[in-house]
């Protein structure tokens, strides 16, 4: 069984990635609930692997992470 994956760019509009809308499959438009895997690409970038349960299409999204500083 072969798999096809591509990197799709996502831009969150001033919202935390967990608060933003979850992606839909670009092939069959089925809604995605949870990423299959995630990984830190760098200190400020996290990539997520999504695989559609309906059609099996896979894609990767990347999100920039802003560090939040707390006052002690």
Residue among 3, 5, 6, 7 nearest 62 (CA): 7
In order of 1, 29, 48, 54, 62, the CA distances from 41 in angstroms are 27, 27, 10, 28, 9
Q: What is the DSSP letter of 15?
A: S
Q: Are strands 45-51 and 58-64 parallel, antiparallel or unpaired?
A: antiparallel
Distances (CA, A) of 68 to 1, 31, 43, 65: 42, 30, 13, 9
Report pLDDT for 51: 95
Give the per-residue pLDDT at 53.
Answer: 93
Q: Give pLDDT, residue 58.
A: 93
According to the model, what pLDDT value does residue 15 have? 52
Specify the pLDDT at position 65: 81
For the chain, list residues with pLDDT below 50.
19
């Amino acid at each position: 069984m072969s798999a096809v994956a591509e990197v799709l760019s996502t831009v969150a509009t001033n919202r935390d990635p967990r608060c933003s809308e979850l992606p839909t499959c670009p092939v069959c438009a089925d809604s995605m609930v949870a990423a299959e895997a995630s990984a830190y690409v760098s200190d400020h970038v996290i990539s997520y692997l999504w695989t559609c349960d309906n059609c099996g299409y896979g894609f990767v999204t990347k999100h920039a992470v802003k560090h939040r500083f707390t006052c002690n």
